[in-house]
């Protein structure tokens, strides 16, 4: 059995979280513009958020990326400023729970 390896690009993967299939092409174009302005670590954080439908804390995110430095927290903060990640309104262990904007009303 041949297994074909593919390159995973979190930017391309995250693109599909920024618009709905039925949205007009202008929504897709806007999403592409936003994503091309993200750096590599922002894309990694956005992809992580995509897989955290019920949200995540900065501590959980740092555990995922195996770091306790502020690098990923700072990139998450930048994504909050861009409106891609939002405060869920919940708190766990005295920490804000963040969610991808699309998951905020779930």
What H or E segment, with its residue span, contains residue 79?
Answer: helix 71-81
Place of tokens 């922002």: 42
What's the CA gap between 35 and 42, in Å, rounded? 9
pLDDT in tens, 78-87: 999 988 899 9
Secondary structure class of 97 (helix, strand, coil): strand
Q: For position 68, what pLDDT does the model report?
A: 86
Under 8 Å CB-to-CB from 89, ≥6 apart: which residues? 97
Domains of the chain are 10-103 (1.10.10.10)
**Which residue numbers in the chain have pLDDT < 50?**
1-8
Sorted by sequence, the CB contacts under 8 Å of residue 57 that are 6+ apart come out as 92, 93, 95, 96, 97, 98
pLDDT digits (tens, 9 = 90+) for 6-26: 444 555 555 555 555 676 666
């Amino acid at each position: 059995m041949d297994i074909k390896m593919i390159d995973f690009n979190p930017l391309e993967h995250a693109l599909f979280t920024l618009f709905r299939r039925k949205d007009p092409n202008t929504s897709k174009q806007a999403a592409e513009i936003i994503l091309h302005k993200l750096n590599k670590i922002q894309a990694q954080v956005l992809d992580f958020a995509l897989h955290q439908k019920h949200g995540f804390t900065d501590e959980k995110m740092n555990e995922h990326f195996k770091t306790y430095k502020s690098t990923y927290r700072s990139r998450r903060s930048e994504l909050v400023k861009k409106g891609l990640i939002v405060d869920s309104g919940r708190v766990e262990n005295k920490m804000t729970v963040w969610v991808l904007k699309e998951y905020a009303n779930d």
